[in-house]
Amino acid sequence: MASESSRTSRSSRTVSAWRPSVAGVVEVFHARFTEYAYPMHVHEAWTLLIVDTGAVRYDLDRHEHGTPHDTVSLLPPHVPHNGSPVTPEGFRKRVLYLDGTYLGDELIGAAVDRPDLRDPLLRRRVGQLHGTLVRPGEELEAESRLMFVGERLRGHLRGDPVSSRPADPALARRLRELLDERVVEGMELREASGLVGAHPAHLVRAFSAAYGIAPHQYLTSLRVGRARRLLLEGQTPSEVAVATGFYDQSHLTRHFRRLVGVPPGRYRTS
């Protein structure tokens, strides 16, 4: 992972924490606790929590809440809360700490009133986002997924349905042209949004609707295509990974195998 990380293991505690290179994410925190109970404390960031096994009981603003596995919990900054296992088996959780990029202070009151959200689509999207964040080099995908998570969270807190905008093929074409120009360097979604003058979520939707593929999938396809040509010219997989914008050789290998069916080394010698 291209960020700070730490890991400790005991019979009752396993923790993994790091800060990814994704705007808006202060920290990713994965933990397995069987006995530990958090005392009352506060965070400066928003706490977006899903529980994969077990359940957590916690107090927020002097009201008791719980986190069964089918919910998403959003705890606002600066509001005291605690947390403890519900059963002797403990719990396994995944947490994102988010700054104010996607959630403003004006939403704190609504989050105090409704911290536990029963939304299967949101739960699935948060899980997918975590799956992306553990893989270095997938910042564009992570940013896109976080954009939709933030949008859905704001919809819950404001009580507004998440509405979709009409198709915008011209906007999609402009983003495709930007990605074509920046295959190796890549591009953050917010940078692209500023260049074309559109909201990031609308930009991703417009591109996906126009081309049937998400922007990060399109960029990865271009990189793999270039990698194929360079491999056939005799370059090594490690050289090709650098030349085509992948994080490292393992990053290249993962996507190359998925799109071509064989790893780049085998492709090169075939």
What lies within 8 Å, CB to CB, of 67 at 6+ separation is 49, 50, 51, 55, 56, 58, 73, 93, 116
pLDDT band at 167 (very low <50, low <70, confident <90, very high): confident
Q: Where are the domains of the chain?
A: 5-158, 169-212, 217-269
Question: Looking at residue 2, what is its pLDDT?
Answer: 41
pLDDT band at 165 (very low <50, low <70, confident <90, very high): low
Amino acid at the residue 140: L
In this predicted model, what pLDDT tens digit does every residue of 96-120 receive, in sequence order? 999 998 999 999 999 999 999 999 9
- CATH T-level assignment (fold) for domain 217-269: Arc Repressor Mutant, subunit A (1.10.10)
Residue 89 pLDDT > 90: no
Q: pTM of whole model > 0.85?
A: no
Least confident of 3-17, 68-82, 185-199, 225-239: 3-17
In this predicted model, what pLDDT tens digit does every residue of 197-234 receive, in sequence order? 998 989 999 999 999 899 999 999 999 999 999 999 99
Q: Given the structure tokens 């957590």, which residue do they identify?
A: 56
Q: 5-158 has which CATH code? A: 2.60.120.10
